[in-house]
Amino acid sequence: MLKTRTLLLAVAAALAASTTFAAAQDKARVAFVPQIVGIPYFDAMQQGGEQAAKKLGVEFVYQGPVDTNPVDQLQIVQNLINQGVEAISVSVLDASSLAPVVEAAKAKDIKLFTSDSDAPDSGRALYVAQASDQGLGYTIIDEMVKRAGEDAKIGIVSGEATASNLNAWIGYMQERVKEKYPNVTLLDPQFAGGSAERAAQIAGDMMASNPDLKGIIAVASTTCPGVAQAIETAGKIGAVVGTGYCSPNTARAYLKSGAFGYSVLWDPSELGYLTVWAGKQLIDGKTIPAETTPEGMSHPVTYDDKTGILLLGDPAVFTADNVDDFNF
C-alpha cells in the first residue's frame, strides 16, 4: 500500500513539476479571459495578444474555461486577481457574472475591463469592442437582404442561449428588420449550445419546416460549420443564403462551395492586439484619445469616453472573392 501511495504521490509531483511556468514578474501583466478555450476565434485573439505583448513589453496571460460556464470563468478571473495581474480583460459570458469580482479587483488596484463581449453596468474600466453590437447586427442583416431579397424569410441559429454578446447582436438584427425591412420575416432564434452537430440538426429542421426560407444566420462562430453543412446536405446551395460571424479560415470552404454567401467578422487577432494595448494604457494610467492609431496597428481606433467603448473599427465582410486575402 505504501508503495502505491508513494507512486501516486510521485506521479502527482511529476505532473505538478511538468507544469512549471513560474517566471520572474518584472514586466507588467495583461490577462485575457475568453468565453471558452480551444476555438479558432479566441485562439486568434490569443495570438494577437501575444504579438502586442512582445511589441509593448508586457507579459500576456491567456486563461479560459473549457465549457461556457460563467462560474468557471469567474473562478479564473478571481485567480488572476489573486495573482495580482495588473490588467485583466474578460470576454464576458454573462453580463452580471463580473459583479462579485469587480470590487475585489478595485481593492487591489487591478484594472478590470472587458473585451469582445461587454458587461456594461459592472463597473469595468472600459470595453474593447470589435465593432459596435449595433453595427454587427445591422451589417449582417443588410448584407443578407442584399442577397436574399427584401421579402426574405430568415432563420437564426445561435450558440449558448446564455451568451450576452450573441443575444445583443440578435437584438439588433431584430431591430433592424423591424425598422428598415418590414417585409422580411425573421424567425425566432434557435440555440445549439456549442455543438456543430446540433447546429446542423436545427438548421436542417428549420429548412424543412420553412421551405420558403431564404437565409440562415449562424450567430456563434461554433455554429457556422453546422449551418453551412446543413445547407450543403439539404442541397439548398443557391436557394438558401448561409452566413455567420466566423473567421475566413472557418468559412472559406463554405464560401467556396456557395453554402455561405458571405461572412461577417473583424480580425480577432487585431482585437487581441488592441485588448493588450488597452490594458497597457490602463496600467500606465494614460487617457485614451478619441481617435488614435495604437503602436503596431495599421489603422486608427476610436474611443468614446462616455460609454468607455474602445472600437476596433467596422466589421469586415468576407466573400468568396476576398476570403483568400485573409488568414485568421
Total number of residues that touch other proteins (CB under 8 A): 88
| DSSP-assigned letters across all residues of 281-316 | HHHHTPPPPSEE--TT-SS-EEEETTTTEEE--PPE
Sorted by sequence, the CB contacts under 8 Å of residue 7 that are 6+ apart come out as: none
21 binds other proteins (CB under 8 A): yes
Which one, 156 or 297, has the nearer CB to other proteins? 156
Which one, 161 or 305, has the nearer CB to other proteins? 161
- Which of positions 282-321 make contact with other proteins (CB under 8 A)? none
Side-chain-side CA neighbours of residue 176 (13 Å):
22
Nearest approach in angstroms of CB 132 to other proteins is: 20
64 binds other proteins (CB under 8 A): yes
- Which of positions 86-115 make contact with other proteins (CB under 8 A)? 94-97, 99-100, 103
CB atoms within 10 A of CB 104: 14
| SS3 track for 177-244 | HHHHCCCCEECCCEECCCCHHHHHHHHHHHHHHCCCEEEEEECCHHHHHHHHHHHHHCCCECCEEEEE
Nearest approach in angstroms of CB 111 to other proteins is: 18
24 binds other proteins (CB under 8 A): no
| Contact string (CB under 8 A) for other proteins, positions 190-229, x = contact | xxxxxxxxx-xxx-xxx-xxxx----------x--xx--x
Stretch in the footprint of other proteins (CB under 8 A) among 138-146, 245-253, 284-292, 311-319: 245-253
* Set of cell numbers at residue 90: 474578460
Nearest approach in angstroms of CB 190 to other proteins is: 4
Which one, 39 or 317, has the nearer CB to other proteins? 39
Nearest approach in angstroms of CB 275 to other proteins is: 17
Nearest approach in angstroms of CB 135 to other proteins is: 22
82 binds other proteins (CB under 8 A): yes
Nearest approach in angstroms of CB 325 to other proteins is: 17
Which one, 178 or 256, has the nearer CB to other proteins? 256
Residues 41-73 as b or e (16 or more Cβ within 10 Å = b): bbbbbbbbbbbbbebbebbbbbbbbeebbbeeb
